[in-house]
A and B are shown apart, each in its own frame.
Chain A
Amino acid sequence: MSRIASRWSLAVVALLAAGTEPPVPRFVAQPDASFTAPDSVDEELSYVTDMAIDADGSIFVADLRLPHVLELDSLGRLRRIIGRSGAGPGEFVSTLLLGFYRDSLWVFDPGALRISFFPRRGTGVATLPLDALRTPVANERNPRVHRGTPLAISPDGSLLMLENVAVSDNPADGYRNALLLRADRSLLIQDTLARLVNVHSVCIFAYRDGESHINQPFPDDPLYAESNDGKRFATVTRTAATGGGEQRFTVTLFSLMERRSVTREISYRPRPLPSRVVDSAIAALGEGMLGNFGSPVTVDSLRRRLFLPSFYPPVSRLRLARDGTLWMSVRFADGPADVTEWMVLSPRGFELRRVTTPSSFLLFEADRDVLWGVNRLPDQTMEVARLRVTRG
């Protein structure tokens, strides 16, 4: 053992002497042949917004367009459908986020504005109404309560909340800030963990008959992610570069239980954003929002108002895995073009490896060499997928 350690030390010394960092190991994630979700499940899915994996590999899937949660076993087979359409206990208008709280699965319904708790095994339901959009003005008798989206529930029962904040009455201004709040189990706010700028995420067009809230194709506002057990969350500032030299972005990892955080700066070289990609994105928005849904916003107006940086923002997606690692989908100058590249950080914020996944794959959860997510299919549906990470 001492001989191995000695060789390792010599290797590190040699690298330091040469002025180079050890190369980051690179891996490839490929479909797991032992996992197949049935077509009947995949055909239901079109807007998967969250996914949680139980200790035995069971998969819980939330799709915003569905009034229920799908539970699959570790091989992808449908085990049960949790909830149904309605307003009663255990019923949903839609499902946005879910996670685990002790022995329960919690599910946030943005339509009914409440959280439902289901035993992971067995029957029964408990409901926590949120009344998220009708916040009373705070005073001594009525302290301020949250009015946001619950992102996670910690083991001590406290909630991590997201609150979008408007700065004017003009609907076109939208929500310019987002607050990450900690609320106790009675929903009273205890702490503001982060205040995030929210100016390049959605472009709002207001007109006589309504509003179009169009997702920015190249957002560079801060990202955040929470673990499904409510113990940790992370933020990434990722302002798009204005020049091609070496740039930096910042990652902060929070431990909600231990009340501490670590911050790391990561260097990278930005990748130019080609005009053909911009044109393609605007055309897709024109086809989708304007063509299919009748929005009166013109393509020319889109081009003038959308945020179109010269370089890709360095990070486009963020997930906190249940093994404690942070997965960041990155676009750097030296990265691959036709696949998604993930930079994987340790719980203390040090880079462990790079992993590539198919560009159609949307990651939701990871545990060492296993990834769970969905593949976006050309017909706008989604299929649940599990990938295995192997040496590239």
Chain B
Amino acid sequence: MKRINLLAILSLIGLLAVAPPATAQSGGRGGATTMAKTTQGCWVCMYSNGASYCTGGVPGNWNCNVTLENGCLTSSPGCGAGAMLPLDPDGAAQYVSRGSAIGLTTVMAEGGGPPIRRNCEGVVVARYQAPENIEGIRARTGSLSL
């Protein structure tokens, strides 16, 4: 069991796990929702002799995940350009979106709970979350916009 839990922690998102989660930002724009702006510094997937890896990005942009057996998965070409995500206008530290942008596994919950998936700006993508998990995120952060 210890090994499984440790694996879960190590699987956070692989190499991007070392970066702190990015916060959703409104950039001072008004209104309940605004469109995400393109984020610079996206990671890209490279390949070297049998190993895929994420390279070239800025820690904190959660847009690339990699596995040994399968390869890479990147979200949102342009890292946000195609995401069309509503952003929390008050710039809350935690945020859950039902946007269509793909989510990458960033936290494997202890005890067999559902994984947390974020888009490239660090926003939790709600369509992958069970209702109780969304409630958990709401309870931890006190801010949720859907």
Contact = CB atoms under 8 A, between A and B. Distances in A.
Given A133-B44, A162-B48, A289-B67, A294 B18 contact: no
Given A65-B14, A379-B4, A211 B74 contact: yes
Interface string A155-198: 00000001010000001000100000000000000000000001
Contacts of A380: 7, 68
B104 A132 contact: no
B18 A210 contact: no
B3 A43 contact: yes
Contacts of A39: 3
A175 B47 contact: yes
Contacts of B54: 94, 110-111
Interface in B5-37: 6-7, 10-11, 14-15, 17-19
Contacts of A111: 15, 54-55, 57, 59
A49 interface: yes
B69 to A, nearest CB: 6
Contacts, number: 162
A163 to B, nearest CB: 10
A333 interface: no
Contact of A65 (B15, B52, B55, B56): B15
Nearest to B117: A294
A317 B50 contact: yes
A164 B105 contact: no
Contact of A46 (B2, B68, B82): B68
A46 to B, nearest CB: 6
A97 B105 CA distance: 25
Contacts of A294: 73, 102-105, 117, 128
Interface in B69-125: 69-77, 82-83, 100-105, 117
Interface stretch (A201-209, A243-251, A269-277): A201-209
A151 B49 CA distance: 10
A78 interface: no
Contacts of B56: 110, 113, 132-133
Contact of B73 (A47, A162, A211): A211
A223 interface: yes
A215 interface: yes
A67 B15 CA distance: 7
Question: Which secondary structure characterizes the binding site on chain B?
Answer: mixed
Nearest to A289: B70
Given A111-B55, A133-B56, A381 B74 contact: no
B132 to A, nearest CB: 19
B78 to A, nearest CB: 10
Q: Which of A149, A175, A317 has the most CB of B within 10 A?
A: A149
Contact of A85 (B18, B45, B77): B18
B51 interface: yes
Given A94-B15, A210-B73, A213-B74, A202 B47 contact: yes
Given A206-B77, A224-B49, A294-B103, A284 B69 contact: yes
B45 A211 contact: yes
Contacts of B134: none
A82 to B, nearest CB: 15
7 closest pairs, A vs B, by CB?
A94-B15, A110-B55, A210-B75, A289-B70, A85-B18, A209-B102, A213-B72
Interface of A: 39, 43-44, 46-47, 49, 64-65, 67, 85-87, 92-94, 96-97, 110-111, 113, 132-133, 149, 151, 162, 164, 171, 175, 198, 201-202, 206, 208-215, 219, 223-225, 284-285, 288-289, 292-296, 317-318, 379-381
8 contacts: A44-B6, A46-B10, A111-B57, A202-B47, A206-B77, A210-B77, A223-B49, A223-B50
